[in-house]
Amino acid sequence: MPDTHPSSAFAKNDRRLINGWAFFDWANSAYALVITVAIFPPYFLALAPDRVNIGGASIRDESLMAWCISLAYLVIAAVSPILSGIADYGGRKMRFMRSFTLLGSLACMSLFFFSSPESLWVGVLGFVLATVGFAGGIVFYNAYLPDIATEDRYDAVSARGFIFGFAGSVLLLLANLAMVLQYQALGFPSETAAIRWAFVSVGVWWLGFAQIPFRRLPPDRPGIMPAGVLKKGYEEIRKAFGILRQSGNTTRFLVSFFCYNAGVQAILFLASSFADKEMRMEKSRLIALVLILQLVAIAGAHLSARLSAWKGNRASLLTMLAVWTVICLLGYDVRTETEVFLLGGAIGLVMGGTQALSRSTYAKFLPEETAETTSFFSFYDVMDKVSTVFGTLVFGLVAQLFGGMRASVLVLSGLFVISIALMLAVRVRRMSAP
């Protein structure tokens, strides 16, 4: 293997290399599903006092949960351009991918020591650091795509990563569900102990399976990192923003995306907290709800692709945004577990399609003559993270001011209405099939 260009020894579109890359999704998606969505939120709300005193302020536990997510994504949004610059120009993808994975998995395992209201700080710190590790690792995971596949294979390879991530996360979630439901038969002294060991299992799974991509992916380039690489990402994002804002049509789409993505991400992160806090659902029922949501999301992604091919991107997005609005309005007055499961199915139906279609629609707003899209998608990734901060921050603030999450859900419906109004004025070019 030549010392100057280690990646040159790795052939693109190699099946073993691509599968190795996809195993990173298998590894870290377990954290996204098991910790952030299924198990940790209700566990956190069960242990945390209804009101937590921080710096003299009395904060509701559900608001604190939302703001933990806000803080983690604020950190990533701030450093994401630096990470992108390192990934694109510094030749240090593997080093930082390993570092963020180690941070995230160890922080996830540290949640084992969050066992009482007195150790609440362990839960907060561990959750924030694990989320930073998760989001930071994805930056470098995505940056490997051009190294392992040719452009005509990007969609297929990305889809394989999604499939691996879904399969791995659901498999571990089922194992964790068995741990919680059969804790006595498995030798755990209590349900709480089983949940704490589930946190450890996610960290071990994450770190363990990540060794496969670490061994198979191209290594870093040797030598000193180029000068100015730390500010390169910010320069590229500023350049992309300067080009995109020249078009009023593109600006309307981006503002619409910011509004509805804030709502989508807040719902995805905090839906299980809502079901636990407002509906008092048992943990096993919550996990079952998340599993149903994930399964329906697969079908929803296929349906959105068909709808887009039939009616175009804008009509498809408007349809899904209308569904999101109805979900929020109905969620404000949901009363029974059956209604919660029906709403969960509706969320799954539009969840995957909204996220997938947003990125492909954005691609159609890029200058047709540009050959370099990295800076434009770095800008998109930062907008995605900042809107996540905004959505979870607003959710927590409204819950804090009005004494519950139902008001937060109602406010999110307003974000979707604003996004629909903006999207109606957007024109999206339709690309001919090859």
283-293 pLDDT tens trace: 778 888 888 88
Which among 333, 350, 341, 376 is positioned nearest to 261, based on CA atoms? Answer: 350
Is residue 59 included in any domain, yes or no? yes
Are residues 265 and 372 part of one domain? yes
Rounded to two decimals, the pTM is: 0.80
Are residues 273 and 176 part of one domain? no
Least confident of 94-108, 139-153, 202-216, 218-232: 218-232
- How far from 153 is each of 148, 304, 396, CA to CA, in Å? 10, 21, 41
Are residues 79 and 195 part of one domain? yes
Indicate whether 411 pLDDT > 90. yes
Is residue 434 included in any domain, yes or no? no
Are residues 148 and 283 part of one domain? no
Q: What is the pLDDT of residue 5?
A: 45
Is residue 220 included in any domain, yes or no? no
Is residue 221 included in any domain, yes or no? no
Non-local (6+) Cβ contacts of 203 within 8 A are 105, 106, 107, 108, 109
Name the average pLDDT for the chain. Answer: 85
CA–CA distance, 76 with 131 (Å, rounded to integer): 9
Among 182, 215, 248, identify where a domain stops: 215
Domain of 171: which CATH number? 1.20.1250.20
Are residues 258 and 315 part of one domain? yes
Are residues 398 and 266 part of one domain? yes
Indicate whether 406 pLDDT > 50. yes
Is residue 1 included in any domain, yes or no? no
Across the range 108-115, mean pLDDT stands at 96
Q: What is the pLDDT of residue 189?
A: 94
Domain carrying residue 239: 228-428
Q: What is the pLDDT of residue 373?
A: 57
- pLDDT band for position 248 (cuts 50, 70, 90): confident
Are residues 166 and 251 part of one domain? no
- pLDDT band for position 196 (cuts 50, 70, 90): very high
Map residue 177 onto helix, strand or coil. Answer: helix
Across the range 261-271, mean pLDDT stands at 90
Across the range 168-197, mean pLDDT stands at 92
Are residues 248 and 293 part of one domain? yes
Summarize the chain as % helix, strand, coil (round to 5). 80, 0, 20
Tokens of 318: 């408007």
Across the range 161-168, mean pLDDT stands at 84
Is residue 223 included in any domain, yes or no? no
Among 186, 215, 244, identify where a domain stops: 215
Are residues 192 and 232 part of one domain? no
pLDDT tens figures, 344-372: 889 988 887 787 778 767 777 777 665 55
Q: What is the pLDDT of residue 353?
A: 76
- pLDDT band for position 2 (cuts 50, 70, 90): very low
Across the range 94-120, mean pLDDT stands at 94
Indicate whether 433 pLDDT > 50. no
Across the range 222-244, mean pLDDT stands at 75
Q: What is the percentage of the chain residues whose pLDDT exceeds 90?
A: 42
Are residues 387 and 297 part of one domain? yes
- pLDDT band for position 432 (cuts 50, 70, 90): very low
Among 188, 215, 242, identify where a domain stops: 215
Are residues 207 and 237 part of one domain? no
Is residue 395 included in any domain, yes or no? yes
Is residue 316 included in any domain, yes or no? yes
Q: What is the pLDDT of residue 369?
A: 61
Q: How many domains does the chain have?
A: 2
pLDDT tens figures, 68-79: 989 988 988 888
Are residues 196 and 74 part of one domain? yes
φ and ψ of 59, to 5 deg: -110, 130
- pLDDT band for position 155 (cuts 50, 70, 90): low
Higher-confidence residue: 50 or 197?
Answer: 197
